[in-house]
Structure formats: C-alpha cells, structure tokens
A and B are shown apart, each in its own frame.
Chain A
Amino acid sequence: VKAFTFHAPQALADAVTLLGQHGAEARPIAGGQSLLLAMKERAATPSVLVSLSGVADLRGWHQDGDGLHIGSGTTYAALAGSTFPTWQQEIATVAGNLADRPVRTMGTIGGALCQAEPRFDMPALALGLDATMALVSASGVRTLPASEFFRLEGGTVLQAGEILSRVSFPPAARFSGVAFEKFRVRVFDAALVSAVCAVRVGVPAEARLVVGGVRPTPVEVPGVAAELAADLDGADPAELGRRCADEVLPAAEATTSLARYQRELVAVVARDAVIRALATARS
C-alpha cells in the first residue's frame, strides 16, 4: 500500500465535494474488498480515499411503486439477511452465496457494480433484472439502466467525481420468476460463468437472459430471450442454453481451453436459469 489520505464523510454531499476537490487522485471506497487488494499489490495507488461507509444515506433500501431501491453502500451480509417480496428475494439469495463471509460482511452491492468485474455476480444480476443506477456528482444526479452503466469493453461509464448512490430493481409486478445460476470451481471463487433469466407470464410476456463471466462485461442474449418470451410454455431450456452459448461465445471464438470450457458451461448454466425462472413463474 502506498501512503494515502483517508476521508470519512458522513453525508453524500460531502463525499461528492471531496471527490471533486481531489480529482483523479481520489477514489471512493466502500467495503474495500476489491480496491484494498489492488492497493496492497500497488495495482491501484490513489493518494486520497473517500470512504462511503459512514454515509448513512447510502445504506438500506426502500420499496415504492417504481421498485426496490437499494443504497449502494448496503453490504452483501445485510442483503443476505433480509426478506424481499416474490422474485426480489433472489437478490438476497445471490448476496448470501458469493465470496466468503468476511467479504460479504464488508463488501457492498455498489462496490461490486462499480468494480464491474465480469466474474462477479452482482453486475450480471443487475443487468439481468434490468436495474437502474443513480449516479451522483457535483452537477446533479443522472440515472442509467444497467445496460448503459456497464461498458461493452469492460468497466463502467462512471466518471471521476461520480458516486453510485443507488441501484433500483423493478417492482415485484415486473417479473413472474427470476433465477440466477453460476458455476465456480471452489465455493469462495468468483463465477466462471453465470446466467440470469427473468420472465413475466402474461400479456405481453417478457423474458430477459444475461450471461456473465464470459465477456468483459455481462451481456444480454436478446435473440434467445425473445424466442423464450414468444413461447414460455413450449420453451426447450436445453436448446435455449445451447443457443445462448452460440450467441455469447460461438465455437469459432472459443479457441482456448478455458473458452471451450466456458462455452460448455454457458449452455448448462443458462439452461438451469431458464428452468428455474419458469418453474418459479408457474408456482
């Protein structure tokens, strides 16, 4: 770790001001479960850290007509220990089944989304569930859907001085069933491949499919999702899983051993996500 100055503001406005004052030298830090590791390896060397952990406004959640709004500073452990209505409970389940206990205790949903590591679970989940992100800066608040928050080449569109303050998931009525599935080698490892399926039964029917871990950012699989939406009852999950693999990681591009393996896993993990999302929707 290189020497740095640590600020611990109590209000979001103060955090924004501090980040603005220090410019590119400064980094916001939440649970620090990615940034501190990078700093220990000197892969990141910010001279100023603005801690968000004292900002009460960034913790907790509330539900309104627009959906479930989760403060970016909410820890995985807090999410894992909470109860949400219907499919939203999947958010708690995912938060309770990643990394290890120390990481879940310290790590935050916002930290994971800003880190945007493709093997992390939360970016795929946010994109799969069509979440929106609220970004606060000195010039105000802007709101982006997850699909615009993550950049295709990796990372996020977050600019210097901006803080992700909130992630909003759609209201319970939006989906009838959702499922997040992943494969990891060891229990505490990040996922080699993850997949999210969200479906709404009704008129119009809707289906979303997202695959994580394969590309530099989680990616939607709109073609396969549209096919699923068109015929929820007649869906062949195994076939849809294989189509996901073809779309996300075509055989021609799977040239390394790891990529060939991930291609096989996409078909399995996406299939399982479809099966469970449909089962939940029907139950």
Chain B
Amino acid sequence: MTDTLPPVDRATGAGKRLVGQSVPRKEDLALLTGTARFIDDIRLPGMLYAKILRSTVAHARLRDVDVSKASEMPGVHGTLTGSDLLGKIKPWGDLMQDLLVGDHFPFATDKILYEGQEIAAVVAESKYQALDALEAIEVAYEELPVLVDPEAALAADAPLIQEGITYEFGEGNIFDRYRVRIGNAEQAEAEADVVVRQRFVSNRQAGAALDPHGCVASYDSFTGVLTIYSSTQSIFMVRDVLADTLQIPRNRVRVIVPEVGAGFGSKAQMFPYEVIASVLSMRLGRPVHLVLGRGEIFRSGTARNGQVRYAELMLKRDGTITGYRDYVVHNCGALSLWGNQVVHIGTNVGMLPYPIPNIRVDADIVHTNTAPGGPLRGFGIPQMIWAKEQLVDMAAEELGLDPLEVRAKNVVRPETFPYRTPMGQVIDSTSVYECLHASADAIGWKEKRAARVANEGVGLAVSMKYTSCRHPSFDTDLSAVRLRLETDGTVTIFSSDVSHGQSHATFLAQIVSDVLGVGFEKINLAQPDSATSPFGLGTFASRGAAVLGTACRQAAERLREKVVAIAAHVLEASPGDLETGNDRVHVKGLPDSGLYLENLAAYAAYRTHQLPPGFEPTLESVATYDTPTEREASDGSGNLSVTYSTAAHAAHVRVDPETGRVTVVDYAMVHDTGTVINPLVVEGQHQGGFLMGIGMALGEDYVYDAAGHLLNASFKDYQAPYATEVPELTNMREIPAPSQTIPGGQKGAGESGTGPVPAAIGNAVYDATGVRFTALPITPERMLLALKEKASQGVQTLRFPDDMHDFTGPRTYAEWPGPTSEGDEEGWLL
C-alpha cells in the first residue's frame, strides 16, 4: 500500500516574496459580503440620536435661536446652541502652526457665514424625533450681502465675511497670502521668445465619499473617558483637536474608527459634529449618534478649493521653459482649516515635472460665503496642472512644435540622482521621460495626429505628485507601526493611520510577511484606536505605502532581530547563520528545520528561562518613520515630499457637435509609483484617481446662486460620474523608478491618477474642436454653446468662457488684475 503513494513535492523555503505580487485584498471579504461595519452601523446600548439645524442662508447676523419649543418635543433629551458653549469650549483652527486663527466653533454664535453652517442641535430617542424637534427651533436672521465669487471678495467695498478676526494681513477677506520667488521671472519674460498667458478657473469638487461623515460619542462618567467612533482619516488629529476644544486631557479621549468608506481628503480634520456629539454625550451620560445626511455633507463638509489663476509660461524658441508667473485667487470658502495649505503644496509640487528656473507666484487666499474649502485628492495639484499643462500646449502651438516634444524637452531628467530642482524638490529617481513617451505611444499620439478624424482629438498632460508631505503648517511627516508576535505565531499590526481604501491590511501584511517570514494569512491589522495605536498623522497625501510602509518595514526588521536572537540562543547558532521564513527561524538553506515563530513567541511569553541572558521578554517592536523632508523656505522653495510619483496621461476624446457631449474614447495612464508593493491595489488607486479627475474635468462643480444657495447638493443633481460614464481603463502601465530614499523603493499611488486628467482632456478637447476651455468643468452644455459661438464668430479657435459674447471677466492680459500685495517688502512672512 505505502509504495503506491506518489512522492510528495513538499514546498520548502520561505516561498515567493509577496512584495510585488497582486495579493488579493484582505479587506474585500467584509466589504463584498456587506458585513463591514461603517459609522452608521454602530449601535451602543442606550444610544441617543442627534441632528443639527443648519443655516438656510449664506450670510446673516444671527439674532436669536429659540429652542424652547423643541426641547418640549416628544423624545427630546436635550438641545445645544452656540450660546450654550460660548466660554465653555475653545474655538479651534490654531492647533497647527501657521494656522493662526481660532475661527472654528461648533455653531454660529453671532454670524452665519455660509449656507449649511451649524446653528443648533437636538438629541432625542430616535433620529426622526430629533428631526421633528429641529423644525420647532425658531431662528431670527438679519441677512447680509452675499459673496460667492472669490475675485469679488478682494474688492475694497466687499462685504466682510469673518469679522473680529485679525489675520496676518489685517482684517478683511484675505485669509492668507502666499508667494514664490525663484530666480528672476521678469528677466525670463524679457528674454523669452514666447510668453503664453491665460486666465484659468478651476471648480469646487466634493469628496463624495459614499460613507457619510459622522460619529458616535460615548462618555463614561466613571472613568472620565470620552470614546468617539468617527469616520475620519486621522484619529490623532481628531483626538488632539477635540481634547483641546473640550479642554480635557488627551488620554481621556479615545478615538476609534469603524470601517471608513473613503475620505479623499474630506475627512482629514475634526468637524463640529464631533464636538456636538461629545458635548451631548458628556452632558447626558449616554452614547450619542450623529451621522450627517448627504445634503449636509455637500454644504458643510470641505470641497476642493476653487482657484482663479492668471498664469504665464515663458519659453525659448526651441521649447525650453524658462519661467512661470502666476497670480492666484484661492477660494477657501467661509472658513478653512487646510485651505491655505492647498495653494502652497499644489503650487510647489505642481511645478513639476519641469525644473523651471524662474518662478514668481503671488496668491491671495480669500473667504467667500460658500462651503469650507479643503484638501481633496491631489491637494491643489490638479488645479495647478489644469493651468500649466494647457499653457504648455498653447506654447507648443505658438512655437509650431509638437506638445509631446515640448514636454519631453523639459521634463526633469538629470544625469545623476538625487537632483534638486530650482523649486527645491529633491528628485531621488524618476522615469518621467519614459512615462511621457509611453503614454503618447499608448494612445497612438503620432498616428492619430497624422490621420485626423473630425471632432476627435488627443491630448497629453503630465504631473509628478508628492508622496507624503511636510506641510508648512505641520512640521512633521511621520507614521508609526507597532508589531506584536502573538503567542500562537500570528502577528498583529497596530497603526493609527486609517485605511479607507488604501489596503493597509493587505500591503502591510505583505511587507511583514517578507521581512519576518510569517505567513500572510497569519497577519492581522488592528483597527486604529488612539488608546492602543502608536502615534501617527493619519492617512492622506499618498503617504501610506511610503511612510507607513517604511515604519512597518523597520518595525518588522526589529521584531526579526528579536526572534532571531532567541532562536540563535536556543539553537546555539550564530544569528548570522539564521534566516526567517516558512513561519520559523531556521539555519540558512534549511527552511524545513528550525524553530517555529509560535515556539519562539512562547519562549518570550511563557518559557522565559529559555531566553538569552538579559533578553527583555517582549515580542513587540515599534518604529516611527519621519521623512527627511524640508520645511518650506521663505521664497517658497523646499523639498516638501520624500519622493515624487509620475503620472503621464494621454486622452483621446470625441466631441459630439450636436449635443456637446465629450466622450473619452481611450485613456492611457503611465505611472512611476516606484517599487509597487501590490499591483492590484495600485491599479485600483490609479483608476479611482482617474475617476475623480474625469469628474473634475467633465461634470462636478458646486453650483451656487447669487444668494449663496448650493443648487446641486444631492447625488441626483451633482454631476459625479457613474461607472457608465468612465471609459475602459486598461490602457495603463507602470515604469518603476524605485525611490532611492524609501528603503523599499515605493512611492505614493493614491493621488497620481487625478492630477493630469482635466488638463489632458482639456488639451484633447482643444485638439478636437479648437475650443480651449479655461474654466472647469467641460459640461456638454458649455461645450455645445462654445461650438455654436465659434461658428457664429467664424473663428478657428475660441476660448471658453473668455471669448463668449456674454463673458464679463478680463479677456486680455491688459485687463488682468494684479496681486493685492507684491509681498517684496522686508520681513514679509509666508
């Protein structure tokens, strides 16, 4: 009998390394089976429901808020207004450096600054009773003139939005200023053969995370600990600002995240609802659920900052870019925690991939009576690329050059790395030149331009996106991981950086598996919890793979040293002769021998006499990685990101001349994401990034009327693309140039896919129709009206909206406004 058994082909050794493999995501089972628990799924015993009354006007003096009737309504346990909290909690907005004002408060107290601002809250047995009671609250307003247009906010006689706050530049609607002074842009202009100039306007875009903003706060009066479950991207940002606002110790605030169904930058701060739920829970001693509705999220969540850019690009006859000048009016909405950072980072990094020697940028960062501005996938880079990459095409046309060749001539392509650009970025590796050509080839650039098809066109755009960021307001760029080898040989990863689509559970496990030799299936990521997770900044700025991944690699290496030390002692071997793999520590070349991690963990936990003399009996390791990035210098320069990812995109569009519909026929994306840990995950990130890019390009915008009412605050009316509007996204590839700074070579993936999309499509639309869109989005309505205008004017090319007959803004360079301050005086601070 026994001799009939086939020989066993026993797998030996550590097996394939997992980094680089498309390992299926650990996250998917819960998501695909509907068992993942999001914020609105949290149910705690005795939980009450709170709802917020929001302003229906955009600018007003708040004369009175009367909650007396509401508090008598059935099921109501309490109400809360601004006057209840004045003097009892601290305004926020000034925790981080350079964000100098405490202009955030849970409710409007004396003035309403935008439609949707919080006025009062009710907490009741059910959310329906809470909503009923909101209707009984009486509010007296005195309406004020409304400012929607950011350029109008600069006028001397413009209504003042934030009153009683003295900004760095005095009282007014200018919240902050920003400038860049690199080289000599005036000299570059004088010496240029061609200067192209255009006013570009970019739109407001929603994060539109399907999982709503919300929280459940639960205060335990016995321990004095406030536990808050929140759908956030950063548990420590919420914890620190919330504790500071409530003026309670930070170790008495515990922030836990449930599954977070995306954020895109829109959940990267503490919001008023988190304070409201916390105060109500502390007051009543019961858990309080407060989850926002979609209309509330549109109106009071943060939306991508809109910009007006008066942008100029200077070139030599051969296409060499010699200078860039820009005056930016940056719309932060009524109040904004991150908004001014967006123009800093977006402009600095958005200058790439061109090492432009002469740069002058001035920005006025203004308030309007609109939704708070904030970070959104790309953090200012899509806005900058929208302007700059269209200028490149305009210059190429004027010079009679191929836009591909102009780009190829200018992209950063140093002979040696690292290379520092005039703007200060340290390029540690890049394949941008190869990516650019590969994307053009993938779309059939030369062939399609040679064989023209009516109403079809091709366009290019290229960007390099930060991986992590040392924000000017935030002199840190760190993440941390603690690993614990459990007593059964499994490994738990603790991290405070919230995975909300970035696949932390999967890619961190790939790293740990490779370093420690432990099976992928034995590794588990604990849910971020400020009581147990090591301190980290959170998940934003495409930093997960590079920053958190590096912390994880270091923690795994430290844990590996410990298990190898124990094994060496037990096996009486030299640590240098041992390696990890196959769930054990073994002598090199003998992967089926050695000691299982399970046994080694048991020595450290339960058989400590087996440990090497003096060995501290722990199988935990922790590592914090802070990137070697720089602070922004006073001239605007600096290496703000640890490394830079490339996105070279090429669009082929078709424009229907009868309906104005723009169809993206084909779209090629070639990226440099460095060493890709998980191609499946990175591909998904690029596709998702593209989706937000095409939404920005073709449909999404916050549409306000003159009174500051948001007219499209629902998914029915807000024109985000559905899956049916997205082209097949298989024309994509990676040309990896592994980062020299990050030990694993990886670069950020999350936001690369967004930046070039509006410009690539804009350039393709121009190629197809002769209409140069200078404002976003390119809706069918605008496209068709532009085509009709072009026909009626009998011109070959037309700018939308600049050349439309009813356009009222500045059409020519001579009419352009200038910065409100040139900022060249002595002692001018950023």
Contacts and interface: CB of A to CB of B under 8 A. Distances in A.
Interface in A183-241: 183, 185-188
A174 to B, nearest CB: 31
B674 interface: no
A264 B724 contact: no
Interface stretch (B168-176, B474-482, B512-520, B779-787): B779-787
Contact of A187 (B658, B659, B716, B724): B724
B191 interface: no
B657 to A, nearest CB: 10
Nearest to A272: B658
Interface string B717-728: 001011011000
Nearest to A40: B293
A188 B699 CA distance: 14
Interface stretch (A22-30, A71-79, A104-112, A253-261): A253-261
Contact of B719 (A1, A186, A258): A186
B592 interface: no
Most buried by A among B128, B135, B658, B788: B658
A42 B131 contact: yes
A122 to B, nearest CB: 18
A3 interface: yes
A185 B780 contact: yes
B762 interface: no
Contacts of B132: 2
Given A185-B699, A185-B719, A188-B724, A260 B128 contact: no
A42 B660 CA distance: 36
Contacts of A261: 660, 780-781, 784-785
Among A41, A187, A261: residue with most chain B CB under 10 A: A261
B163 to A, nearest CB: 33
Contacts of A258: 781
B788 A264 contact: yes
A186 B784 contact: no
B784 A264 contact: yes
Contact of B725 (A41, A186, A260): A186
B781 A257 contact: yes
A188 to B, nearest CB: 6
Interface in B747-792: 779-782, 784-785, 788
Interface in B643-669: 658-661
A37 B135 CA distance: 19
Contacts of B295: 41
Contacts of A188: 722, 724
Contact of B722 (A41, A187, A265): A187
A261 B788 CA distance: 10
Contacts of A281: none
Contacts of A1: 128
A270 B785 CA distance: 19
Contacts of B724: 186-188
A265 B721 contact: no
A146 interface: no
A260 B785 contact: yes
Interface in A1-52: 1-3, 37, 41-42
A268 interface: yes
A258 B785 CA distance: 10
A113 to B, nearest CB: 20
Contacts of A3: 128
Contacts of B785: 257, 260-261, 264
Contacts of A37: 716
Nearest to A42: B131
A268 B658 contact: yes
Interface string A247-279: 000000000011011001100100000000000
Contacts of A186: 699, 719, 721-722, 724-725
A1 B782 CA distance: 37
A37 B715 CA distance: 12
A265 B725 contact: no
Nearest to B721: A186
Contacts of B781: 257-258, 261
Interface string B690-705: 0000000001000000
A261 B783 CA distance: 10
B128 A2 contact: yes
Contacts of A264: 658, 784-785, 788
A264 B784 CA distance: 8
Nearest to B660: A261
| Residue of A41, A42, A257 with most chain B CB atoms under a 10 A cut-off | A257
A165 B724 CA distance: 35
B659 A268 contact: yes
Contacts of B788: 264
A276 B659 CA distance: 18
Contacts of B661: 185
Nearest to B720: A186
Contacts of B659: 183, 265, 268
A258 B788 CA distance: 14
B758 to A, nearest CB: 17
A137 B823 CA distance: 76
Contacts of A41: 295
B134 to A, nearest CB: 10
A54 B788 CA distance: 52
Interface in B61-101: none
A248 to B, nearest CB: 17
A188 B725 CA distance: 10
Nearest to B801: A257
A188 B128 CA distance: 30
A22 to B, nearest CB: 20
Q: Which of B135, B781, B785, B788 has the most CB of A within 10 A?
A: B781
Contacts of B128: 1-3
A37 B780 CA distance: 27
Interface string B269-302: 0000000000000000000000000010000000
A185 B128 CA distance: 35
A187 B725 contact: yes
A268 B721 CA distance: 24
A193 to B, nearest CB: 9
Nearest to A187: B724
Interface in B789-813: none
Contacts of A265: 659, 784
A283 B785 CA distance: 36
A280 to B, nearest CB: 21
A46 B589 CA distance: 77
Contacts of B719: 185-186
Interface in B615-670: 658-661
A117 B679 CA distance: 47
B291 to A, nearest CB: 14
B648 to A, nearest CB: 28
Interface string B127-155: 01001100100000000000000000000
A170 to B, nearest CB: 31
Nearest to B699: A185
Nearest to A268: B658
Contacts of A185: 661, 699, 719, 779-780
B208 to A, nearest CB: 14
Max chain B C-beta neighbours (<10 A), residue from A1, A42, A186, A258: A186
A134 to B, nearest CB: 31
Nearest to A190: B716
Nearest to A271: B658
A261 B659 CA distance: 8
A183 B788 CA distance: 18
22 contacts: A1-B128, A2-B131, A2-B132, A3-B128, A42-B135, A183-B659, A185-B661, A185-B719, A185-B779, A186-B719, A186-B721, A186-B722, A186-B724, A186-B725, A257-B782, A257-B785, A261-B780, A261-B784, A264-B658, A264-B785, A264-B788, A268-B659
Given A186-B722, A186-B724, 7 more contacts: A2-B132, A37-B716, A183-B659, A185-B661, A261-B784, A268-B658, A268-B659
The 6 closest A-B pairs by CB, nearest first: A261-B781, A187-B724, A268-B658, A186-B722, A183-B659, A264-B784
